[in-house]
Amino acid sequence: MEYIKKAVKTAESDIDKIRGIVQGILSDIKKNREKAVIELAKKFDNWEGEFILSLQKKQRLIDKVPEKIRQDIRFAYEQVSGFAKMQKESMQEFEKETIPGVRLGQKILPMEVAGCYIPGGRFAHACSAIMSVATAKAAGVKTVIACSPPRGDSIAPAVVYALEVAGADIIIEMGGVQAIATMAFGLFTGKPANILAGPGNAYVAEAKSILSSAGKCTIDVFAGPTESAIIADETADYMTVAVDLVSQAEHGYDSPVWLFTDSKELGEKVLEVIPKIIADMPNPDVPASSWRDYGEIILCKDREELCKVNDAYAAEHVQVMARDLDWWTENLNSYGSLFLGEGSTVPHGDKCSGTNHILPTKKAGHYSGGLNVFKFLKIYTYQEISKEANKLISGAASRLSRVEGMEGHARACDFRLRKYFPDQKWNFEVYEQTKY
C-alpha cells in the first residue's frame, strides 16, 4: 500500500495529557463529591443552577420544540427502539437437562441503573439521546439517568424532548468528566450507575475508561471522537466519497476520516475536491482541521489488501462503495458499523435508520461491536445437579481439580461422593473427610 495523503496526527497524540487531566478531576470528585462537581460545573459550563431538570422546566423546554421536529424525533425513536427490541428478542432464556440429573439454565436480567451521556457543546445531539436511553429502556433498565451539558441556561429543547420520548427517568443538566463521575458515583441521585453509555469527546471517553478499569461500573464501548473510513473502488463516484468524508470530518477537530481505495485516479480526485467541499461549508474550520491533521487516503493493490488495511484501522464507521457488496460483508472483520453501497451513508445510522450510532473507536472494533441492547443485560447461568448425577459430575470435577493442584476443590466433590454413595468403591482417589 501507499499513501496518497498521510495524517499528521494520530488518536494517541494527546492521550497522556488527557489521561492526567481526567485522573485529577476524578480524584477531586471522589474526595469532595457533590461539592467538587458544583465547582467544576461553574468552571467549565458557567452553571450555578439546579442540576436535576425539574418537571416544570422540562415541560417548558418541550413546549419550544416544533411539531415537525417532534415527528422526526419520534420516527428516529421508533426505528432505534424497534431494532433494540428485535435484538433483545433474539436472545432467550432457556433451561435444559444436558445429561440425566444435570439441569442447566440461562437467565437474563436488565441492569438496575444506566447512566447515559449525551454530548452537547457545538451540536444539540438529540439522536444520541435516543441511541443510549431508548436502547437501555428496550433492555428493561429500571432507572435511566441522562446527563447532557447545558447550552446557555438549559439543555437544548430538542434533546430534552428526545430524552422524554426515549424514557429517561432523571435528566441532569451537566456535561464533561464531572457528569460521567456524577452518574458513576450516584451523586445528587443516590443511584450509582451499573453501566455508563454514550459518546463524548476524548475527556469523556477517558473518564469512562478509567472508572470502568477501577471496577466502579462497566461501560458500553470506548466511544471517543468520531472516526470514519470509506472503501471505494473505481466504480465509486468521487463526489459521493468526498462529500461523505467531509460530513464526518465536521464532528470535531480530532475526528479522523480515511479513504481506502485500489483506484489511484479516484484517490487523487477525492484529494483534489475535498478542500473545495470544505470551503463551501458554513463552518469550514473544523472539517478543515480534521482533514488536514487526521485525514488519509491509502492506495491498495487489490480488495484483499483493502480488507487488511480496513481491519488494521478498525474504524468506527466503514462505508463500502464497491462491487460485490456481499463479498465485503463476508470478508471485513473489524469495524464499529458497516454501511453497504452508495445508498447507505453514515448520517443515516447516526440519526434514524435504526442501528446504533454509539460505536467503538481507537481500534476497539477489534474486540467489540457498538452499543446494543445486550450491553444493558446481565446474562446469568444456574445449575441443579441431582444426587445420582454427582457420581459422574463430582467424579470428573474431583479428578480435574487434582490435575490442577486444587485439593480443596477435589475434597468438596469427594465429600459428596462419600455422602451420596457410601457403599461405592472408586477406582480413583476419593478423600474421606473427617467429621467434626
Q: Which residues are catalytic?
A: 316-317
| Length of the chain (residues) | 436
Q: Which of 337, 375, 381 is nearest to 84 (CA)?
A: 375
- Residue 223 · residue 205 · CB < 8 Å: yes
Half-sphere exposure of 247 (CA within 13 A, CB side): 16
- 35-69: burial string, b at 16+ Cβ within 10 Å, e else: ebbbebbeebbebeeebebeeebbeebbeebeeee
Cell of 149: 451539558
Element (H, E) at 109: strand 102-110
Half-sphere exposure of 51 (CA within 13 A, CB side): 24
Measured between alpha carbons, how far is 249 from 284 in angstroms, rounded to an integer?
Answer: 10
Cell of 432: 474421606
Q: What does the DSSP 8-state code read for residue 112? A: S
Half-sphere exposure of 217 (CA within 13 A, CB side): 28
- Residue 181 · residue 152 · CB < 8 Å: no
- Residue 154 · residue 176 · CB < 8 Å: no
